[in-house]
Chains A and B, each alone.
Chain A
Amino acid sequence: MVSAPDVHGKSADSVVNPMLPALYTIQRVKRETDDTFTLELVPESDRHKISFLPGQFIMVYVFGVGEVPLSISGDAAGTVLVHTIRAVGIVTRVMSRLRRGDKVGIRGPFGTAWPVQEAQGHDVVLIAGGIGLPPLRPVLYHVLSRREEFGKVVLLYGTRTPSDILFRDELEQWRARFDLEVHVTVDRAQSGWRGNVGVVTTLIHKSSFDPQKTIAMVCGPEAMMRFSALELQRRGVSTNSIYLSMERNMKCAIGLCGHCQFGPLFVCKDGPVFRYSHIKDLLVKWEI
């Protein structure tokens, strides 16, 4: 008789239900900018402790309100789960009002990771746009924790205005390091801003890395990623060495609900991190 295939030989009864959230407690809330904040979460029980890879995401549930996919912005080697969240929808707005001690449900981690292994021995170029910086921060933590295993490391970060800059203190620390090249730029400056003005793609030709031995990881709005990838190619980086993190509507995060389809791909399980060469044709098919 035909029956559903077994997972690891377990019967249906012992299979962990991937749709059931585990409870986590908020340990710390940090306001980053007007609309962006960081939550640090710890599991209610050790049984639900998770480990993740940089680039993976979590489904975070607010009691009775809803669930949203959130990238992880903390250190994969750390003991807390860190999310940096921009309050743009109902769930994230409610989340922005949560306080220390409040509980949320989490499922995950899900999805593919940034190629930190593949990047070993290479120059690493991280290009972040807006809220695309948090998903790349775990890569930077990883790379800095074993700095000698990587070539040149470059972080290019573009955001809307100076007041939208995330992780200012850390950016200053990173910028002060001699083994890290950090450029920050904004699209719109206010009077008195002495930093860079211009889109993040303009920083690509100004930074020093060897295109032949570079792994580039790009995260931000889709158009920003497309143009960054073109600029990287113009610098001579192969399409195989460029990685993007895609965003689509997600409900289940496990490839069952159909929402995140991107051509034949499910962003939740085939992504969110994709090799650019793998998706570059899809990226220029509108409304795919």
Chain B
Amino acid sequence: METLERILAEHPFFKDLSDPYLKLVTGCASNVRFEPDKFIFREGEEADQFYLIRQGRVALQVFLPDRGSITVETLEEGDILGWSWLIPPYHWHFDARALELTRAIALDGRCLRNKCEEDRSLGYELLKRFAHIMEDRLSSTRLQLLDLYGVRS
């Protein structure tokens, strides 16, 4: 448990989170590992975790009947994977699949949700951090949608 706590403390996502909160969060954390091509989660499943990727690469995918699994974004070491655990009805919107051997710390969303409800300031701390990530992903997605490298005719 001590090493998990240290890993979390050193991660930019949890930077400056107070010690008691860090301990709370660590209580909901566990080490996980995914073999290449393994699904981490799948569209429609209940979202009760999020992941802090420590190693490897993960593809967020949508399956299209005529085109197969299309990757819309890839995440890797240092990235946070998943926020559907925060937002009702707590279901995943995409498939997440390990592209290579991936190690991560899984955080139990249900456990965290309960703790956040009990302690609103922990909830605020976590939401603030997720808001930052969402903002990042949203602006990247907007840029991606611009199709900047396409030839206009």
Name the one of B77, B136, B146, B149 contacting A159, with C-beta atoms under 8 angstroms: B149
Give the docked Cα–Cα distance between A276 and B71 (Å): 33
Contact check, B73 vs A35: say whether CB atoms are below 8 A apart.
no
Q: Which of B21-29, B62-70, B80-88, B102-110 contacts A (4 or more CB under 8 A)?
A: B62-70
Contact check, B59 vs A197: say whether CB atoms are below 8 A apart.
yes
Closest to B136 in A: A202
Chain B residues with CB under 8 A of A158: 149
Interface residues on B, range: 20 to 34
Contact check, A197 vs B147: say whether CB atoms are below 8 A apart.
no
Give the docked Cα–Cα distance between A197 and B67 (Å): 16
Name the one of A187, A191, A193, A198 contacting B149, with C-beta atoms under 8 angstroms: A187
Name the one of B69, B70, B140, B150 contacting A199, with C-beta atoms under 8 angstroms: B140
Interface residues on A, range: 20 to 34
Contact check, B146 vs A198: say whether CB atoms are below 8 A apart.
no
Chain B residues with CB under 8 A of A20: none
B1 within 8 A of A: no
Q: Given A88-B151, A206-B78, answer yes or no on A199-B144 (Cβ-Cβ < 8 Å).
A: yes
Chain B residues with CB under 8 A of A189: 70-72
Binding site for A on B (CB under 8 A): 57, 59, 67-74, 76-78, 99, 136, 139-140, 143-144, 146-151
A220-B149, A224-B143 known, 20 other contacts, Cβ within 8 Å: A129-B148, A129-B149, A130-B148, A130-B149, A160-B149, A160-B150, A187-B149, A188-B144, A188-B147, A189-B70, A189-B71, A189-B72, A195-B74, A196-B74, A197-B71, A198-B140, A221-B149, A223-B143, A223-B146, A227-B139
